Amino acid sequence: MKAEDYPEMMMHASTEGRFKGNIEVGGLVLCSIPSEFLVQREAHFANINKQTMESVDNNYMKDNDPRMSKFSERSTKVTFGSGS
């Protein structure tokens, strides 16, 4: 992104090199992405995460023994006590 598009960030504008006129902080260059790509990317990684968790669950449960069954519930519980 050009520094002139964001005047409040002009102090971070690169004055020389390949990214001259762009906003650069610590070697990182500010970039933009269309919102459609962002939605697609989010859906893609959510799907990968879902598949990974299913694989982990299936791998964990494959060694299940009826004599000592494993629980596959995924939940957490927060309680507050009086401390006594």
Per-residue HEC secondary structure of the chain comes to CEHHHCHHHHHHECCCCCCCCEEEECCEECCCCCHHHHHHHHHHHHHHHHHHHHHHHHHHHCCCECCECCCCCCCCCCCCCCCC
Domain extents in the chain: 3-60
**Tens-digit pLDDT string for the chain (84 aa):** 777 787 787 777 888 888 888 888 888 888 888 999 999 999 999 999 999 998 988 887 777 766 666 665 566 667 777 765
pLDDT value of position 34: 92
Burial 1-13 (b: 16+ CB within 10 A, else e): eebeeeeeeeebb
pLDDT value of position 36: 95
pLDDT value of position 25: 83
pLDDT value of position 72: 55
